[in-house]
């Protein structure tokens, strides 16, 4: 369909905004835009363009045989306000569900056994010395080296560094490999030695600057906002029935928020099965507008554009912009999760916690396992358990050459050794996520800042947001969507003057 001349101009019935991408960033941006225009008593015509055949991005909930299965993310951090605000506005507060109080324990796999993480460990950093010193996580030498954080000077340079360099400098290599790598880098399925500290855990750098010692800083309460042992940190503004929980979900699965957002956006044009491949700036009668072309040849006109795309897809839209091509080379890791359902008596381990993580140095196929039904009461029927195992990380993607049965067999073999699985699962789902995890390498924030600067100069009214930029978690993506909507509003109001 070719773009008509009348369609190219600003519509008399309101502004036009095109949003490329179908994940939670896109939907949050569209929802915020509609809300803000409605509050002003003005109209906006929103078009959503998504490459897949459904909206929701990585969020997908399967309800099957009495199990609630998340094929993508399984929860979100309660302390991050953006998603809670949207939850409240959508009337979903009563649907929020907290983790089971008894599921606070987490294990780390070490030398053929599961070792409980000692109390007071915050982001892998001890805030209580005695439990850490008596744990079996690392050797006596490793503990002595970690304790040197108490006397080491702080770093003088202000620039970025990798998480791995930071932790090894403060606590030593064993602490990095055995504790911090599986706990922190597991969020990104990445390598701590390449991930940017400033883009992932900037508060750690701030603690060192202010308190010199991370241990002393966290002992003073600086790290309380990042630990489940501080109910107050995650309780502000939460409904009473979920206060004190570090993580939250919805009673019928995370896709609940996607369904509600799509319901609110029923009057927006929703295009699936196509992606934006070209964007051109146009000027007519003193007004700037944008002509966008999708992969199926359809053309759209817009007064403003939000691109909530992976870095590599964004680079295809702007092939001549060096800064975006640079971001487009950002590594992405492919991962998979294997969800398995069992009868309770088929597993020997008491499953007395939320699960376990496995350091890369252990050389295992599985990187982590969440005891989903121990963590969430809504995920399995009585007398049954649901497990979710993760495979794939930076430099370890052998699973991509395996079929589902081979992946399940490899996972089952390791579960039999770690938690004593004694039977075949009654339900098994393999969820593959190709190029799913962006890797924020050292210098990431500077690259992102440059992209926003170039877009502002060359394409005013075009804004980029999403997991490739400032956080991969659901609350971070919701926040970025809302911020992009605010930028669009400010731009459109300014362009009318």
| Least trusted range by pLDDT, from 124-133, 161-170, 246-255 | 124-133
Q: Give the pLDDT of residue 472.
A: 95
Question: Residue 232: pLDDT above 60?
Answer: no
CB count in 10 Å sphere of residue 54: 13
Q: Give the pLDDT of residue 236.
A: 54
For residue 287, name the pLDDT band (cuts at 50, 70, 90). Answer: confident
- Taking the C-alpha atoms of 139, 144, 147 and 151 in order, what is their torsion angle to the nearest 10 degrees? -160
In CATH terms, the fold of domain 332-438 is Polyamine Oxidase; Chain A, domain 2 (3.90.660)
Domain boundaries, the chain: 5-56+260-330+441-495, 119-227, 332-438
Q: Give the pLDDT of residue 222.
A: 55
| Domain 5-56+260-330+441-495 matches domain 119-227 at the CATH topology level | no
Query: Which token pair is 52?
Result: 């897949």
Spell out the CATH class of 119-227. mainly alpha
Question: Residue 130: pLDDT above 60?
Answer: yes
Query: Which token pair is 423?
Result: 């039977």
The CATH number, out of the four listed (3.40.190.80, 3.40.50.10860, 3.40.50.720, 3.50.50.60), of the domain defined by the range 5-56+260-330+441-495: 3.50.50.60
What is the value of pTM for the model shown?
0.92
Q: Give the pLDDT of residue 2.
A: 42
| Least trusted range by pLDDT, from 183-197, 221-235, 239-253 | 221-235
Question: Residue 358: pLDDT above 90?
Answer: yes
Q: Give the pLDDT of residue 452.
A: 96
Q: Give the pLDDT of residue 191.
A: 92
Q: Give the pLDDT of residue 351.
A: 97
Contact between 74 and 319 (Cβ < 8 Å):
no
The predicted-structure confidence for 36-72, as pLDDT tens digits, reads as follows 999 999 999 999 999 999 999 999 999 999 999 999 9
């Amino acid at each position: 369909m070719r773009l008509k001349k009348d369609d190219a101009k600003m519509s008399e019935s309101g502004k036009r905004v095109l949003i490329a991408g179908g994940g939670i960033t896109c939907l949050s941006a569209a929802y915020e835009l509609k809300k803000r225009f409605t509050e002003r008593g003005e109209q906006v015509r929103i078009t959503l363009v998504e490459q897949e055949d459904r909206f929701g991005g990585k969020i997908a909930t399967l309800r099957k045989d009495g199990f609630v299965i998340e094929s993508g993310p399984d929860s979100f951090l309660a302390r991050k306000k953006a998603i809670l605000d949207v939850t409240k506005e959508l009337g979903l507060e009563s649907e929020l569900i907290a983790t089971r109080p008894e599921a606070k324990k987490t294990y780390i796999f070490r030398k053929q056994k599961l070792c409980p993480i000692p109390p007071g460990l915050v982001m892998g950093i001890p805030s209580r010395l005695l439990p850490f010193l008596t744990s079996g996580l690392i050797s006596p030498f490793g503990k002595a080296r970690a304790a040197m954080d108490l006397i080491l000077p702080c770093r003088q340079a202000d620039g970025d560094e990798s998480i791995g360099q930071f932790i090894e400098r403060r606590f030593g290599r064993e602490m990095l490999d055995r504790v911090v790598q599986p706990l922190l880098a597991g969020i990104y399925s990445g390598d701590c030695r390449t991930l940017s500290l400033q883009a992932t855990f900037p508060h750690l750098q701030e603690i060192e600057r202010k308190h010199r010692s991370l241990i002393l800083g966290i002992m003073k309460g600086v790290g309380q906002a990042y630990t489940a042992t501080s109910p107050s940190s995650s309780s502000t503004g939460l409904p009473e029935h979920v206060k004190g929980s570090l993580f939250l979900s919805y009673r019928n699965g995370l896709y609940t928020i996607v369904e509600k957002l799509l319901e609110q956006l029923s009057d927006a044009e929703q295009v699936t099965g196509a992606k934006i491949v070209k964007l051109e700036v146009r000027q007519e009668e003193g007004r700037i507008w944008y002509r966008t072309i999708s992969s199926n040849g359809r053309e759209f006109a817009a007064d403003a554009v939000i691109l909530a795309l992976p870095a590599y897809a964004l680079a295809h839209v702007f092939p001549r912009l060096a800064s975006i091509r640079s971001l487009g080379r950002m590594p992405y890791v492919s991962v998979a999760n294997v969800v398995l359902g069992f009868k309770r008596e088929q597993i020997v381990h008491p499953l007395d916690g939320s699960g376990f993580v496995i350091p890369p140095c252990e050389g295992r196929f599985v990187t982590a396992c969440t005891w989903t039904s121990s963590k969430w009461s809504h995920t399995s029927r009585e007398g049954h358990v649901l497990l979710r195992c993760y495979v794939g990380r930076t430099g370890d993607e052998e699973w991509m050459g395996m079929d589902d049965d081979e992946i399940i067999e490899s996972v089952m073999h390791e579960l039999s050794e770690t938690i004593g699985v004694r039977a075949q699962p009654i339900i098994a789902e393999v969820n593959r996520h190709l190029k799913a995890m962006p890797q924020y390498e050292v210098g990431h924030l500077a690259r992102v800042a440059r992209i926003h600067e170039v877009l502002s100069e060359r394409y005013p009214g075009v804004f980029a947001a999403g997991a490739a930029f400032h956080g991969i978690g659901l609350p971070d993506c919701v926040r970025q969507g809302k911020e992009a909507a605010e930028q669009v509003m400010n731009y459109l109001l300014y362009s009318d003057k």
